Amino acid sequence: MTLALGRRDDGSASRSGLRLVLGSASPRRLQLLAQIGVKPDAVLPAEIDESPRPREEPRALAERLAGEKAFASAAIAAGHTDLAPCLTLAADTVVGVGRRILPKCETRDEAELCLDLLSGRGHRVFTGLALITASGAVRRRLVETRLRFKRLSRSEIEAYLMSAEWRGKAGGYAIQGLAGAFVERLVGSYSNVVGLPLNETAALLAGQGYHVHRSWGASLVQ
């Protein structure tokens, strides 16, 4: 288990005395939080079984896993008195075609199957957000983005597979990378497809008194 503590100072995002724990090991989510001026005080990912349940649909899976990750991470954070009081944020992103859940691809064959399925058709990306408050309550959001890929040629698919950019990515692609050339249409949050919907995340934090914009002036001065 990894504990990474961030520096806390008078220019903290919240100015509320709350610390922020991120229950995710995803470097993309850390980068997205940094984009809006947020540096978690700790990164405490928890290992859970991410397998879909029988007949579980994409949106339900994203919601469930986000909650399970948040509660598991909050339990770890409870063992660190220096983190109290804290908010624990977790997220899970799922790519779905109809009721079908696409995997986080670890093999070339998985990625090729996903790209073949996505070629020339629409799909949806769901991110479940779960925030455990200082009192132990949970606040949730589910964000949906609709996308359509152009029809991919065999040479485009082969070239993308050779890039290995698909590895570990839900649906076998990373929109912020080379696969951005495949997107014909996008309706909704772009950052949601990357892995963390920023508007909704900021709103969820603000609801608990953690206002991300309050550090922006201080960060510019530094």
CATH of the domain at 93: 3.90.950.10
pLDDT in tens, 164-209: 999 999 999 999 999 999 999 999 999 999 999 999 999 999 999 9
Number of domains in the chain: 1
Residue 9 annotated as catalytic: no
pTM over 0.75: yes
What pLDDT tens digit does each residue of the chain (222 aa) get?
Answer: 445 544 444 444 444 689 999 999 899 999 999 999 999 999 999 999 999 999 999 999 999 999 999 999 999 999 999 999 999 999 999 999 999 999 999 999 999 999 999 999 999 999 999 999 999 999 999 999 999 999 999 999 999 999 999 999 999 999 999 999 999 999 999 999 999 999 999 999 999 999 999 889 865 544
Query: Which of 103, 68, 93, 87 minimizes the C-alpha distance to 22?
Result: 87
47-53, long-range: CB < 8 A, 24+ apart: 47/72, 48/72, 50/92, 50/104, 52/101
DSSP 35-48: HTT---SEE-----
Q: d(Cα 43, Cα 51) in Å, to the nearest integer?
A: 23
**Structural domain span for residue 122:** 4-221
Q: Which residues contact 79 (CB under 8 A, 6 or more apart)?
A: none
C-alpha–C-alpha distance, residues 202 and 205, integer Å: 5
Q: Is 24 helix (H, G, I), strand (E, B) or coil?
A: coil
Q: Which of 41, 92, 109, 116 is catalytic?
A: 92
| Residue entry with tokens 């949601």 | 192
Beta carbons within 8 Å of 105's beta carbon, 6+ residues apart: 111, 114, 166, 167, 168, 169, 171, 172
Tell me the Cα Rg of the chain.
18
Q: In sequence order, which ranges of the chain are alpha helices (DSSP H)?
A: 27-35, 58-77, 108-118, 154-163, 190-194, 198-206, 216-221
